[in-house]
Amino acid sequence: MKKRNRGFSLIELMITVAIISIVAMIALPNYQEHIIKTRRVLAKACLVELGQLMERQYTTTMSYAAAVLPGTTCTQDLSATYTFAFANAPTATTFIINATPKGAQSGDTQCGTMGLNQVGARSASGSKTVKECWK
> Cβ distance 117 to 95 under 8 Å?
yes
Domain that holds residue 61: 10-134
Q: What is the DSSP letter of 4?
A: -
pTM comes to 0.83
Q: Is residue 17 part of a domain?
A: yes
Which residues of the chain are under the pLDDT cut of 70?
A: 1-3
Q: Is residue 39 part of a domain?
A: yes
Domains in the chain, number:
1
Q: Is residue 69 part of a domain?
A: yes
Q: Is residue 97 part of a domain?
A: yes
Structure confidence at residue 1 (pLDDT): 61
Helices (H) and strands (E) in the chain, counts: 3, 4
Q: Is residue 82 part of a domain?
A: yes
> Cβ distance 84 to 59 under 8 Å?
no
Q: Is residue 3 part of a domain?
A: no
Structure confidence at residue 82 (pLDDT): 98
> Is the Cα torsion angle 12, 18, 22, 24 positive or negative in sign?
positive
SS (H, E, C) 75-132: HHHCCCCEEEEECCCCCCCCCEEEEEECHHHHHCCCCCCEEEECCCCEEECCCCCHHH
- Residue 67: CA count within 13 A, CB half-sphere: 31
Give the burial class of 97: count Cβ atoms within 10 A of its Cβ; 0-12 exposed, 13-18 middle, 19 or more buried: buried
Q: Is residue 5 part of a domain?
A: no
- Residue 55: CA count within 13 A, CB half-sphere: 11
Q: Is residue 78 part of a domain?
A: yes
What CATH number does residue 65 fall under?
3.30.700
